[in-house]
Structure 1
Amino acid sequence: MIKARIHVTLKNGVLDPQGKAIEGALGSLGFAGVGSVRQGKVFDVELEGSDADAARAQLEEMCAKLLANTVIENYAVELR
């Protein structure tokens, strides 16, 4: 079994209204000094098999086809 974690984040320059809302809420809760917040997504995926290269290729394809909108999002695949 191969375990992976995929981090999906908005590309630089893409507006992040949810991040801005979180940033404002943190300030309202008394957390001073928060300069910027960007939100993202994390996916934990388990794949059958033991071939790390094949798993990475399959995970990259999953990201490109479904998990990330590659026009506005970056993703990083981490095998665990």
Structure 2
Amino acid sequence: MIKARVTVTLKNGVLDPQGKAIEGALSGLGFTGIGHVRQGKVFDLELESADKAKAEADLKAMCEKLLANTVIENYTISLD
């Protein structure tokens, strides 16, 4: 069994209205010194494969087809 984490974030230059809303909310809650907030998503997956190379290839395909919109988002994959 292989455990994986996929992190998806917006590419630099892509507007992030949720990040701006979070930034404003944090300020409204009294938190100071918050510069720039960007939000993203994290997917934790367990793959039954024992082959790390195949698992990484499968995860890349999952990201390209479903988990990330590669036009506006980047993704990183980490395996345990």
Normalised to the residue count of structure 2, the TM-score between the two structures is: 0.99
In 2, Cα distance between the equivalents of 1:18 and 1:49?
A: 36
In 2, Cα distance between the equivalents of 1:49 and 1:77?
A: 16
Q: Which residue of 2 aligns with 1:68?
A: 68
Q: Which residue of 1 aligns with 2:78?
A: 78
Q: Which residue of 1 aligns with 2:8?
A: 8
Q: AA paired with 2:25?
A: A
Q: Cα offset for 1:49?
A: 1.9
Q: Which residue of 2 aligns with 1:24?
A: 24
Structure 1: 5+ residue runs without aligned partners? Answer: none
In 2, Cα distance between the equivalents of 1:32 and 1:66?
A: 37
Q: Which residue of 2 aligns with 1:38?
A: 38
CA RMSD after TM alignment:
0.4
In 1, Cα distance between the equivalents of 2:66 and 2:77?
A: 14
Q: What SS does the aligned partner of 2:33 have?
A: coil
Q: Deviations over 1:17-37 (max 9, x none)?
A: 000000000000011000010
Structure 2: 5+ residue runs without aligned partners? Answer: none
* Identity, % of aligned positions: 73
Q: AA paired with 1:75?
A: Y
Structure 1: 4+ residue segments shifted above 6 A:
none
Normalised to the residue count of structure 1, the TM-score between the two structures is: 0.99
How many residue pairs align between the two structures? 80
